Amino acid sequence: MKRGEISYKKSGVDISLANKLVKHISKVSKKKVKKKNSNSLMGEIGGFGSLFDISQYKIKDPVIVSCTDGVGTKIELANKFKKFDSIGIDLVAMCINDLIVQGAKPLFFLDYIALGKLELNKTKKILKGILKGCKLSNCKLIGGETAEMPGIYAKNKFDLAGFSVGIVSKKKILSKNNVKINDVVLAIPSSGIHSNGFSLVRSILKKNRIPNNLKKHLLIPTKIYAEEVLELCDKNLINSAAHITGGGLIENLLRSVPSNLTLNINLRKIMITKIFKWLKSKNIPDREMLRTFNCGVGFCLIAPKKNIKKIIRTFPKKYKPYEIGFISKEKKKVSLINALRW
């Protein structure tokens, strides 16, 4: 290139570097997914569109379920602590945990990474997490987009979005319409803060030093509940489910209960973990804690009481569900029993 000539690279976008990243993704993605769905991708990553063969899934009256989500300002803490290998797991988890609320089996995932400057090593670490999340979900990363956007994002800033698609038989769809009077509400523990409420977390961190023994809890990736929840669906053990994300425990549970029934929750039964107790100690009201954070509950199941023992046996020790409420028929939509136990 002659002196004085301008180019895309000089303006801040390096196409050659992006092509190297695509080749890297294509190479490593082939190694990460279980053989069960390894033949579903028709073609290579890097095309204009991704093709996925669903004919191998022998599902009667199949329904496609789709979700999209991000990880919010948890990204800022990943930048602050220079830890990028787990934020991709969060991205996959936020989408997959929404899919399984309908009882859908995850099929594939696509990502969108927007950044000010493409740093190959950093982006590879993010993608490593995405691939791990896909492996934990038993779905395939079939494509995505990496957008280098100088002037929109500062040099070290980035954002993530994820898109997932699943499949479920029409007769197997989990729905709030399946919920009955006297069903129980079971809480499945979270792995930590997951990916909601980090704007408030960051605000607190500006004024307060977090104890060293709690610092690691800030970036623990979101638990993916797909394996256990889908096993329960296959055995017809649950009627409805809720992913506890933005809006907190009560608002998300109400989305999974018919409007003519009452959600009863005993707040005292919630097993609150240390990181939430520390956040609460920074003068956050109970109501705000419940609306902003999962407070130790990452996912909820609504099921007949007779199925409790079978449901509990499905989960590993760390994530054993426990009863926090029940469904009744009253005038109000929600009844909160007792107060949170800090």
**Structural domain ending residue among the three candidates 142, 172, 202:** 172
Reported as a pLDDT band with limits 50, 70 and 90, residue 9 is: low
User: What percent of the chain clears pLDDT 70, i.e. is strictly above it?
Assistant: 87
Once rounded to an integer, what is the mean pLDDT over residues 28-56? 66
Reply yes or no on whether the pLDDT at 237 is more than 60: yes
Q: Do residues 192 and 111 share a domain? A: no
* The pLDDT of residue 14: 61
Task: Tell me the residue range of the domain where 47 lies.
Answer: 15-172
Q: Do residues 67 and 88 share a domain? A: yes
* The pLDDT of residue 49: 82
- Residue 72 has which token pair? 């919010």
Residue 342, in any domain of the structure: no
Collapse the DSSP code of 302 into the 3-class scheme (helix H, G, I; strand E, B; otherwise coil) and give the result: strand
Q: Do residues 239 and 159 share a domain? A: no
Q: Do residues 155 and 207 share a domain? A: no
* The pLDDT of residue 289: 96
Q: Do residues 181 and 322 share a domain? A: yes
Please give the Cα distance from 202 to 205 (Å, whole number).
Answer: 5
* The pLDDT of residue 124: 93
Q: What is the pLDDT of residues 83-107, one digit of tens each?
A: 999 999 999 999 999 999 999 999 9
Residue 8, in any domain of the structure: no
Please give the Cα distance from 144 to 48 (Å, whole number).
Answer: 10
Reply yes or no on whether the pLDDT at 207 is more than 70: yes
Reported as a pLDDT band with limits 50, 70 and 90, residue 215 is: very high
229 near 311, Cβ under 8 Å?
A: no
User: What percent of the chain clears pLDDT 90, i.e. is strictly above it?
Assistant: 77
Which long-range contacts (C-beta less than 8 Å, at least 24 apart) are formed by 251-254? Answer: 251/291, 252/300, 253/185, 253/300, 254/333, 254/334
Reply yes or no on whether the pLDDT at 128 is more than 60: yes
Reported as a pLDDT band with limits 50, 70 and 90, residue 317 is: very high
Q: Do residues 213 and 155 share a domain? A: no
Residue 283, in any domain of the structure: yes
Residue 219, in any domain of the structure: yes
CA distances from 168 to 191, 246, 332 (A): 27, 25, 33
* The pLDDT of residue 331: 87
Residue 7, in any domain of the structure: no
Q: Do residues 167 and 207 share a domain? A: no
Reply yes or no on whether the pLDDT at 201 is more than 90: yes
The number of distinct structural domains making up the chain is 2
Once rounded to an integer, what is the mean pLDDT over residues 225-252? 97
* The pLDDT of residue 58: 87
Q: Do residues 148 and 47 share a domain? A: yes
Q: Do residues 145 and 195 share a domain? A: no
Please give the Cα distance from 43 to 45 (Å, whole number).
Answer: 7
**Structural domain ending residue among the three candidates 139, 172, 205:** 172
Residue 303, in any domain of the structure: yes
Once rounded to an integer, what is the mean pLDDT over residues 110-132? 94
Which is more confidently placed, 288 or 22? 288
Q: Do residues 274 and 290 share a domain? A: yes
* The pLDDT of residue 55: 86
Q: Do residues 92 and 189 share a domain? A: no
Reply yes or no on whether the pLDDT at 178 is more than 80: yes
Q: Do residues 219 and 332 share a domain? A: yes
Q: Which CATH number is 159's domain given? A: 3.30.1330.10
* The pLDDT of residue 46: 65
Please give the Cα distance from 94 to 195 (Å, whole number).
Answer: 8
Q: What is the pLDDT of residues 251-308, one digit of tens each?
A: 999 999 999 999 999 999 999 999 999 999 999 999 999 999 999 999 999 999 999 9
Residue 2, in any domain of the structure: no
Reported as a pLDDT band with limits 50, 70 and 90, residue 41 is: low
DSSP 8-state assignment for residue 130: H
Q: What is the pLDDT of residues 51-62, one digit of tens each?
A: 888 888 889 999
Residue 263, in any domain of the structure: yes
Average pLDDT score, the chain: 90
Which is more confidently placed, 133 or 119? 133
**Structural domain ending residue among the three candidates 152, 172, 192:** 172
